[in-house]
């Protein structure tokens, strides 16, 4: 079963993020990050120069994963490419065996390590989804015919902790109309907020995978609370991480994530794990009995 069929099947899904490295040491990404999770996850999201840090591209890494029989989810942002390049990369992705595409607006360039570069944002997440849908109908965004149609399972992101959340729901509905068949969310730490969000989002009847970022430390949690949109790690988790001895931190972090995943499980169709350099995704999956 491929990812799209699994979405249809109603099965509880697990996806995990792999981040291309800054450089060309591809073994790190493929052998160390992705390979250990073979058979344990339903899809590998490959990030597109996350946080606007210049790195190896999502497209070739997705292709190499697909060659190994690991199901890639190609993340594509509107930050660095105009409409011509985005469409071309989507066609290239299809030819390289990539079927799942997650469309994002992308962070602003000043957040990353090339703050003085030119931000593009020719399209936005909604218009890019629409353009990708148009490609699958055999036309480019200007209506010109394509020789052969690509097929994509399109996805998008949503931030359940966004304030005002109605604004996210309006955009979510637009993304669905533009072709999104699944959603992955920003990290969830507060199940109550997520439950409220899902009550509203349920009406769309589109599978949602709840985001998990395992905590590395209390400092990381505090940093995210202060700086990252839509994230609010509750005080109790920050305390648990602060009180854990150094060698117990991974265990405590897993315990927190497992608790969250159990909660998420009853509310939506899957989880999306974003390790962000944390090396224990496999242990987390085992502990969740998802593995």
Partner 1 sequence: MLVTQLKPEEEVLPKISGKRLFIFECLGCKELYFPKEEVGKFVDSLKEEITGRAILDYLCNREFVKAYVGEYSKEIEGADLVLVFSCGVGTQVVSSLLESKLVYTGCDTLYLNGFQGLSARNFNCNQCGQCYLNYTAGICPITNCPKGLLNGPCGGTKDGKCEVDPEADCAWVLIYKRLEKLGKLDTLTEILSPRDYSKNITEYLSQKEGVK
Q: Which of residues 208-227 bind partner 1 (CB under 8 A)?
A: 227
Per CB under 8 A, the segment of 32-40, 120-128, 143-151, 277-285 that binds partner 1 is 120-128
Cβ neighbour number for residue 288 with a 10 Å cutoff: 20
Phi, psi of 272 (to 5 degrees): -125, 115
- Is residue 107 at the binding interface for partner 1, with CB under 8 A as the rule? yes
Among 92, 117, 127, 193, binds partner 1 (CB under 8 A): 127
Q: Cα(174)–Cα(106) distance, rounded to whole angstroms?
A: 17
Q: Helix, strand or coil for residue 157?
A: strand
Q: Helix, strand or coil for residue 115?
A: coil
- Is residue 54 at the binding interface for partner 1, with CB under 8 A as the rule? no
What does DSSP assign to residue 34?
I
Q: Cα(55)–Cα(39) distance, rounded to whole angstroms?
A: 27
- Is residue 178 at the binding interface for partner 1, with CB under 8 A as the rule? yes
Per CB under 8 A, the segment of 20-28, 60-68, 108-116, 235-243 that binds partner 1 is 108-116
- Is residue 181 at the binding interface for partner 1, with CB under 8 A as the rule? no
- Is residue 83 at the binding interface for partner 1, with CB under 8 A as the rule? yes
Which residues contact residue 50 at a Cβ distance below 8 angstroms, ignoring those fewer than 6 apart? 19, 107
Measured from the CB atom, the residue of 63 and 171 that comes closer to partner 1 is 171
- Is residue 110 at the binding interface for partner 1, with CB under 8 A as the rule? yes
- Is residue 236 at the binding interface for partner 1, with CB under 8 A as the rule? no
| Least distance CB 90 / partner 1 (angstroms) | 15
Burial of 166 from C-beta contacts in 10 A (0-12 / 13-18 / 19+): exposed
Q: Helix, strand or coil for residue 24?
A: coil
| Least distance CB 85 / partner 1 (angstroms) | 13
Q: Helix, strand or coil for residue 189?
A: coil
Per CB under 8 A, the segment of 9-17, 41-49, 158-166, 187-195 that binds partner 1 is 158-166
What does DSSP assign to residue 191?
H
Instruction: Tell me the DSSP string of 65-105.
Output: HHHTT--EEEEEESSS--HHHHHHHHHHHHHTT--EEEEE-
- Is residue 166 at the binding interface for partner 1, with CB under 8 A as the rule? yes
- Is residue 105 at the binding interface for partner 1, with CB under 8 A as the rule? yes
Per CB under 8 A, the segment of 10-18, 42-50, 88-96, 116-124 that binds partner 1 is 116-124
Among 5, 32, 113, 163, binds partner 1 (CB under 8 A): 163
Q: Cα(124)–Cα(57) distance, rounded to whole angstroms?
A: 20
Among 13, 19, 59, 123, binds partner 1 (CB under 8 A): 123
Q: Cα(198)–Cα(268) distance, rounded to whole angstroms?
A: 7
Question: Going by DSSP bridges, is the β-strand pair 13-18/270-273 parallel, antiparallel, or unpaired?
Answer: parallel
Side-chain-side CA neighbours of residue 237 (13 Å): 28
Measured from the CB atom, the residue of 210 and 284 that comes closer to partner 1 is 210
Among 228, 242, 287, 291, binds partner 1 (CB under 8 A): 228
Residues that bind partner 1 (CB under 8 A): 78, 83, 105-108, 110-111, 119, 121-127, 130, 141, 157-159, 162-164, 166-168, 170-171, 173-174, 177-178, 186, 227-230
């Amino acid at each position: 079963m491929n990812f799209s069929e699994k979405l249809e099947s109603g099965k509880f899904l697990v996806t995990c993020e792999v981040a291309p490295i800054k450089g060309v040491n591809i073994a790190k990404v493929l052998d160390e990050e992705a390979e250990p999770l073979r058979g344990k996850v339903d899809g590998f999201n490959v990030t597109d120069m996350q946080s606007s840090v210049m790195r190896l591209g999502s497209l070739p890494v997705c292709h190499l994963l697909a060659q190994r029989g690991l199901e890639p989810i190609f993340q594509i942002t509107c930050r660095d490419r105009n409409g011509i390049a985005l469409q071309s990369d989507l066609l290239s992705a299809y030819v390289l065996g990539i079927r799942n595409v997650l469309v994002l607006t992308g962070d602003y360039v000043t957040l990353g390590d090339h703050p003085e570069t030119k931000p593009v944002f020719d399209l936005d997440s909604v218009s890019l989804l629409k353009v990708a849908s148009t490609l699958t109908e055999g036309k480019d965004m200007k209506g010109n015919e394509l020789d052969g149609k690509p097929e994509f399972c399109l996805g998008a992101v949503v931030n359940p902790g966004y304030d005002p959340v109605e604004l996210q729901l309006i955009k979510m509905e637009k993304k669905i109309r533009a072709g999104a068949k699944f959603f992955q969310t920003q990290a969830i730490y507060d199940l109550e907020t997520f439950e409220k969000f899902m009550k509203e989002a349920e009406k769309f009847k589109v599978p949602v995978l709840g985001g998990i970022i395992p905590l590395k430390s209390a400092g990381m949690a505090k940093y995210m609370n202060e700086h990252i949109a839509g994230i609010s790690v509750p005080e109790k988790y920050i305390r648990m991480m602060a009180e854990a001895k150094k060698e117990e931190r991974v265990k405590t972090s897993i315990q927190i994530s497992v608790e969250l995943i159990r909660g998420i499980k009853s509310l939506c169709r899957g989880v999306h794990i974003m390790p962000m350099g944390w090396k224990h995704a496999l242990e987390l999956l085992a502990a969740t009995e998802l593995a």
